[in-house]
Amino acid sequence: GRVDVVEELENVIAALELKAAQRRIRLRLETPESLPYVVGDEDQLTQVFQNLVSNAIKYTREDTDVTVTVALADGAAVGFAGLPTPAAAAAKDKRVVRSGTAMVSVSVRDRGDGIARTHLPRLTERFYRVDAARSRAMGGTGLGLAIVKHILNRHRGRLTIESEVGVGSAFTVYLPAVGEAQSPSPHRGEGRGEGEALRVLTK
């Protein structure tokens, strides 16, 4: 189906508000005025956002902001540099997306302790935790990011992780959009009727 990413994020944030407040963390949502839908399963994509935002709440410092930024991106931004290679086409690699593919990016930024570079390649493995003892004490199983990765693979999506020790982390999800690449329109809703691929989201 078609998923309204901003609506899902609003729900996820509302559900996690109390948990955030307990650590005096403010959840902020930044969205463009218009945005295409993404293709996918609403429950699964909600789970992706839920995992990333709860990680941010869990691992950031108290009294800080967690910022969720939604934007329109191009497939080229995540390494979709050209047409699928013959090998990828032959393997029917569903994750191969052409350059120029419109994508929606969702970036979750925190002000936590960050993650050392050496851990990054293994972070989405099942049960992998940077500080096992500390993570166990905080609860959870170490499956969150493995689930995120699994769901994104099924959606031809991508995850990038940027992190700086002592500064914080940014987990960014890229999902293929419905319709062609299009800049967020400053003319909200003009010329776009119901049922078209692009819809105006207000926030």
The dihedral formed by the CA atoms of 47, 48, 52 and 54, expressed in degrees to the nearest 10: 0
Nearer to ligand ATP, 131 or 180 (CB): 131
Comparing every residue's Cβ against Mg ion, the nearest one is 144
Give 77's DSSP letter.
G
Query: Binding to ligand ATP (CB under 6 A): which residues in 91-110?
Result: 110
**The only residue of 44, 135, 160, 185 in contact with ligand ATP, by rule CB under 6 A:** 135
Among positive and negative, which fits the CA dihedral 46, 48, 51, 52? negative
What string marks each residue from 161 to 200 as x (binds ligand ATP by CB under 6 A) or -?
--------x-------------------------------
Which of ligand ATP, Mg ion, none sits in contact with 46, Cβ below 5 to 8 A by type?
Answer: none
The dihedral formed by the CA atoms of 67, 41, 7 and 35, expressed in degrees to the nearest 10: 80
Q: Which of 5, 202, 1, 201 is nearest to 103 (CA)?
A: 5
In the block, which residue shows the tokens 């207000």? 202
Q: How far is the CB of 189 from ligand ATP (least distance, A)?
A: 35
Q: How far is the CB of 31 from Mg ion (least distance, A)?
A: 24
Nearer to ligand ATP, 135 or 185 (CB): 135
**The only residue of 47, 50, 55, 101 in contact with Mg ion, by rule CB under 5 A:** 55
In this structure, what token pair is assigned to residue 164? Answer: 């700086």
In this structure, what token pair is assigned to residue 37? Answer: 């839908």
Nearer to ligand ATP, 108 or 177 (CB): 108
Q: How far is the CB of 75 from ligand ATP (least distance, A)?
A: 25
**Total Cβ atoms within 10 A of residue 162:** 14
**The only residue of 32, 40, 112, 176 in contact with ligand ATP, by rule CB under 6 A:** 112
The three-state DSSP-derived secondary structure of 111-130 is CCCCCCHHHHHHCCCCCCCC
Q: What is the C-alpha end-to-end distance of the chain, expressed in Å?
A: 23
Q: Residues in the site for ligand ATP, rule: CB under 6 A?
A: 51, 55-56, 59, 110, 112, 115, 123, 128-131, 135, 140-146, 169
